[in-house]
């Protein structure tokens, strides 16, 4: 075997590379930054991962932080209008979620990749360069695409997603935040403005990890929470503190009053345009490449799905590659490798994200009704864990309350 080339060392590319190396497959990983650059850079996500993803990583020997990362037991949902708490409930996940700074995770996994004999190249390949290199490998998996490379993957015509980002984002990793008394994550919906989301996580270089609070502003474009454009990092904490005081009742804002940034790279500002693409890309020579993670299905982080979906993609692709050791990795194989991930994970996650950011009436009613019904609150929280259940959840709005579905286990062990 000539080996597998993987572009992008993130939530999809790294676990895929490690899984393949652990089975002895030659892997070349091409990415733009080494571990030192990742660690000295800025945060890139809020990356909460739910139990099916954590299990998947643990079974592959990648769940290094399972015992050290804070456990996020569920969601404390608050509906706030004009600084008044209109509705509030707490829903528990069936198993805790966790969030470990991607800088920590990627740096650790990059070191492990080197330790297990992987070949790492730091480069930003143009499409013609990638095209030339693709012929040297049995298969190229693209988990990071520049605009030109993304254009090699056709849009998925069966999807209609907003053409602009649904939210503008600001992330802050914080010390000094009072922990939630029940270990829950906070989800504050501010109709017309967006959401403020916060939960405990782990940050710091591998070996020196420590607890922090991760705060995410999801601002509806051009409304009040969309207040971080053109800010430099030093301006972001004061601005966040101001927004918390301005939009939230004191009972919700006060736990952040002593907050400080964890480090110089503790903030991120931007927006994610939803994108749904076909999983098979065609390079100018006609060579086919397999897309994974955000390249194929990219969503606003409000649904907390992208990192989870990318991890499942890595597991599915690795199983498909290992199940086809002599190849060929042709279009038919690529289709069969991608379809289970798309059907069971990526597409339900995208639908769920769209529904959370723009809830249909039925889902909105369920959010309100959950205040008086713990079972419903737990079921609602669980849809973040298993978005494929949402279809039944929303349909049940008029008929009664859904029970969480049976475990949706699609990725291989």
Instruction: Kindly state the tokens that stand for 215.
Output: 């705060």
Whole-number minimum distance, CB 47 to ligand FAD, in Å? 5
From the list 20, 28, 29, 31, which residue makes contact with ligand FAD (rule: CB under 6 A)? 31
Whole-number minimum distance, CB 361 to ligand FAD, in Å? 26
The verdict on 62 binding ligand FAD (CB under 6 A) reads no
From the list 3, 22, 32, 114, which residue makes contact with ligand FAD (rule: CB under 6 A)? 32
Widest CA span in the chain: 63
The verdict on 47 binding ligand FAD (CB under 6 A) reads yes
From the list 280, 307, 366, 370, which residue makes contact with ligand FAD (rule: CB under 6 A)? 307
Would you say 184 and 88 are in contact if contact means Cβ atoms under 8 Å apart? Answer: no
Of 10 and 204, CB closest to ligand FAD: 10
Tell me the residue ranges of DSSP E strands in 155-277. Answer: 168-175, 185-190, 194-203, 210-219, 260-261, 267-271, 275-276
Instruction: Kindly state the tokens that stand for 103.
Output: 């800088």
The 241-280 contact track toward ligand FAD, x by CB under 6 A, reads: ---------------------------x---x--------
The verdict on 34 binding ligand FAD (CB under 6 A) reads no
* Closest to 168 in 3D by CA, of 150, 131, 195: 195
Give the N- to C-terminal CA distance of the chain in Å, as an integer. 24
For 217, the enclosing helix (H) or strand (E) is: strand 210-219
Residue 302: CB atoms within 10 A of its CB come to 22
335-358 burial: b if 16+ Cβ within 10 Å, else e: eebbebbbebbbbbbbbbbbbbbe
Of 153 and 376, CB closest to ligand FAD: 153
Of 127 and 366, CB closest to ligand FAD: 127
From the list 112, 156, 263, 294, which residue makes contact with ligand FAD (rule: CB under 6 A)? 294
Would you say 220 and 193 are in contact if contact means Cβ atoms under 8 Å apart? Answer: yes
* Closest to 313 in 3D by CA, of 79, 150, 141: 141
Q: Rule CB under 6 A: which of 78-107 touch ligand FAD?
A: 106
Scanning 42-50, 177-185, 222-230, 367-375 for contacts with ligand FAD by CB under 6 A, the matching segment is 42-50
Q: What are the φ and ψ backbone dihedral angles of 55, each rounded to 5 degrees?
A: -65, -45
The verdict on 8 binding ligand FAD (CB under 6 A) reads yes
Scanning 9-17, 224-232, 358-366, 392-400 for contacts with ligand FAD by CB under 6 A, the matching segment is 9-17
Scanning 85-93, 225-233, 297-305, 381-389 for contacts with ligand FAD by CB under 6 A, the matching segment is 297-305
């Amino acid at each position: 075997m000539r080996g597998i080339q993987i572009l992008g060392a993130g939530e999809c590319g790294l676990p895929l590379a490690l899984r393949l190396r652990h089975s002895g497959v030659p892997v070349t990983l091409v990415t733009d930054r080494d571990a030192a650059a990742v660690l000295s850079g800025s945060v890139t996500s809020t990356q909460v991962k739910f139990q099916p993803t954590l299990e998947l990583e643990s079974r592959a020997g990648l769940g290094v932080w399972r015992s050290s990362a804070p456990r996020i037991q569920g969601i404390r949902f608050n509906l706030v209008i004009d600084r008044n708490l209109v509705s509030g409930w707490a829903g528990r996940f069936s198993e805790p979620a966790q969030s470990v700074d991607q800088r920590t995770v990627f740096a650790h996994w990059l070191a492990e990749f080197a330790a297990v004999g992987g070949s790492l190249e730091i480069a930003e390949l143009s499409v013609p360069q990638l095209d030339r290199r693709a012929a040297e490998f049995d298969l190229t998996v693209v988990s990071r695409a520049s605009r030109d490379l993304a254009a090699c993957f056709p849009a998925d015509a069966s999807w209609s997603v907003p053409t602009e980002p649904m939210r503008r984002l600001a992330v802050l990793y914080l010390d000094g935040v009072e922990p939630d008394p029940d270990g829950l994550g906070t989800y504050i919906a501010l109709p017309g403005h967006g959401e403020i989301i916060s939960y405990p996580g782990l940050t710091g270089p591998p070996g020196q990890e420590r607890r922090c609070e991760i705060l995410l502003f999801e601002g509806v474009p051009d409304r009040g929470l969309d207040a971080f454009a053109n800010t430099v990092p030093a301006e972001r904490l004061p601005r966040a503190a101001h927004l918390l005081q301005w939009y939230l009742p004191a009972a919700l804002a006060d736990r952040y009053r002593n907050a400080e940034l964890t480090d110089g790279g503790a903030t991120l500002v931007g927006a994610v345009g939803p994108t749904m693409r076909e999983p098979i890309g065609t390079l100018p020579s006609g060579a086919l490449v397999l897309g994974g993670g955000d390249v194929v299905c990219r969503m606003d982080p409000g649904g907390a799905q992208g990192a989870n979906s990318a991890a499942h993609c890595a597991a599915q692709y690795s199983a498909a590659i290992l199940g086809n050791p002599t190849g060929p990795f042709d279009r038919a194989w690529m289709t069969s490798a991608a379809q289970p991930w798309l059907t069971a994970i990526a597409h339900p996650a995208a639908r769920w994200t769209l529904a959370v950011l723009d809830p249909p009436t039925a889902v909105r009613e369920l959010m309100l009704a959950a205040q008086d019904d713990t079972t419903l609150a737990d079921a609602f929280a669980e849809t973040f864990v298993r978005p494929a259940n949402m279809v039944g959840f929303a349909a049940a709005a008029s008929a009664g309350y859904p029970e969480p579905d049976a475990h949706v286990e699609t990725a291989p062990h």
